[in-house]
A and B are shown apart, each in its own frame.
Chain A
Amino acid sequence: MKTLRLSALTGLAAASLLLSGCASVRNIEPWVKPYERERLADPIMKFSRDSLPDKHREHWHDVREGARGATGVQGGGCGCN
């Protein structure tokens, strides 16, 4: 009886944690550690290296074509600090 009570309470607490865990990804460990990001920190892995030429390219695409949008990106890189 005692163990059932204890395991029932633990089970309930764990279940509520699991549910909250489903809303976030805290229960899965990030699989790329900050000390493994050497390749991602290289400039050739950046989505945009220099802003002026990329802005110019986006500008003439917008002017000469009917489609526009969804070009800007962030993220990746060295993940420092």
Chain B
Amino acid sequence: MAATRLQRWLAWSAPIRRTLRSREALRRVAVVLGGGLLAAHAAHAVDLPEDKAEGMIHVYSGGGVTASGPALLVRKNIADKVSLSAGYYIDQVSNASIDVVTTASPYRERRTAYDFGADYVYRDAMISLSMSHSKEPDYTANTFGVDVSQEVFGGMTTVSMGYTRGSDTVLKHDSPEFMDRVTHWQYRFGLTQVLTPKWIASANFEAISDDGFLGSPYRAARAFGTLIPERNPRTRSSRALKFRVNGDLGARNAMHAEYRYFWDNWAIKAHTLEGGYSRYFGELWLADAYLRYYKQSKALFYSDDAQAETLYLTRNRQLGTFDSVSLGAKLSYTWKKVPGQYEIKANGAYELVQFKYKDFTDIRTNSPYSFNANVLQLYVSATF
């Protein structure tokens, strides 16, 4: 019985066994089976970011607030394995904003921030670690983050994921008994796709959760015409989704467009729309122009002048209904260039922003508040 069964199996499988005996066929099978593995290993590896140094003077001036200062960044490749970066940022804030002027007195303050990063490449994945420490007299913030990005599909698609955890300590001037904390969690996911040799698109999603003291110990809210301390929830959970596309328009021109939708559990919904255009002029000049529109709807517990008693109440105009339009331009000049060695550029960027608040009253004029802000950035960047 067994013999005939064996005989039958031999007869049945003869053509298959004949094929498998052929080396060519075996090679084809191996290629097909191992094709996936080969495709992943044979082709791509990612490059470390290039070495660079940047120095900048930044100024934001608008609505009575001026924040300015220097910033520095250095990034260096170590043994073509790891790219380390270190940054230093100073914000000298002179605050005479409408809140401060109408409810308190102007003040000056300095914020110093340090950040460090390490990028490591393994085959077609890049792992980045980042750490930052920001300190001002009444607020300290520390963050730690990890980002992983992987190139797939012949380098046409990049998938990235990231996580950042932040932990802040909140103090209050002239109130040594006040101390509170905030913890933040950020989860990011991004996808970049090369569409054609001239177009590239990306989609990014980020979920942020905060837990702790989420307001300002100095800010006042208004209820029934009187100023009272604001009461913010102690948690916030938000999501943002952004789509962006960059396109080469030929003849050394390029454009970019992006849209971001933001929503959170404080009922704020925001839309950001930005478009920009870049163009080379000769060998040494590069100019950019961009237009940005931002529109936001108010938080659930936001009120300019509450007429009812609510658990939470804020008059933080950053959480109200407002929109802003900004127009910016940037100019870059290549000061010194030795191809393959180093390149030094001098750059300047200016942006004019108009903020228009729908439900925040300027109590000095009793009309909806609006102001213009000027943002200036002057910086030198060198790659080597």
| Residues of A that sit less than 8 Å from B by CB | 2, 5-6, 9, 17, 20, 24-26, 29-34, 36-40, 42-47, 50-53, 55-57, 60, 63-76, 78-81
Taken together as a complex, chains A and B put the C-alpha atoms of A39 and B186 apart, in Å, by: 33
Q: Are B254 and A44 in contact (CB under 8 A)?
A: yes
Find out whether the CB atom of B262 lies under 8 angstroms from the CB atom of A67: yes
State how many angstroms separate the Cβ of B383 from the closest Cβ of chain A. 10
Q: Nearest chain B CB to A31's CB is how many angstroms away?
A: 8
Chain A residues with CB under 8 A of B246: 45-47, 76
Q: B190 — which chain A residues lie within 8 A by C-beta?
A: 72-75
Residues of A within 8 A of B47 (CB): 78, 80-81
A–B complex contacts, Cβ < 8 Å, 6 sampled: A55-B71, A67-B240, A67-B272, A69-B208, A70-B206, A73-B204
By the criterion CB–CB under 8 Å, are B200 and A40 in contact? Answer: yes
**Nearest-CB distance from A42 to chain B (Å)?**
7
Q: How far is the CB of B33 from chain A (nearest CB, A)?
A: 9
- Report which of A36, A40, A67, A73 forms a contact with B244, defined as CB distance below 8 A: A73
For window 32-75 of B, CB contacts with A under 8 Å fall at 32, 35-36, 39, 44-47, 54, 56, 58, 60, 67, 71-73
In the bound assembly, the distance between CA atoms of A30 and B87 in angstroms comes to 38
Residue ID in chain B nearest A51 by CB atoms: B73
Using Cβ atoms and an 8 Å threshold, which residues of chain A touch B208?
68-69
Is the pair A37, B318 in contact by a Cβ cutoff of 8 Å?
no
Also in contact, A69 and B377, with CB within 8 A (given A6-B15, A64-B318): no
Question: Taking the complex as formed, is B319 at the interface, i.e. its CB lies under 8 A from any CB of chain A?
Answer: yes
Decide: A70 near B45, CB < 8 A? Known: A30-B156, A34-B155.
Answer: no
**In the bound complex, CA of A68 to CA of B15 (Å):** 64
Query: In the complex, A5 Cα to B16 Cα: how many Å?
Result: 9
Chain B residues 299 to 330 lying within 8 A of chain A, measured CB to CB, are 299, 318-319, 324, 330
Contacts of A31 in B (CB 8 A): 156
Query: Which of B98-106, B191-199, B219-227, B361-369 binds A?
Result: B191-199
B194 touches A40 (CB 8 A): yes
Contacting pair A67 B355 (CB below 8 A) = no
Complex: A45 Cα to B59 Cα, angstroms: 27
The answer, among B158, B202, B299, B355, for a CB contact under 8 Å with A66, is B299
B144 an interface residue at 8 Å Cβ cutoff? no
Over the window 13-44 of chain B, the binary record of Cβ atoms lying under 8 Å from chain A Cβ atoms (1 yes, 0 no) is: 01110010000000000001001100100001
Verify A75–B272 contact, CB threshold 8 A: no
Evaluate whether A76 and B254 lie within 8 angstroms (CB atoms) in the complex, with A30-B153, A44-B286, A67-B262 already known. Answer: no
Residue of A nearest to B189 (CB): A70
Determine whether the beta carbon of B15 is less than 8 Å from that of A2: yes
Q: Using Cβ atoms and an 8 Å threshold, which residues of chain B touch A43?
A: 286
For A68, the chain B residues whose CB sits under 8 A away are: 208, 238, 240, 262
| Cα–Cα distance between A31 and B375 once the two chains are bound (Å) | 42
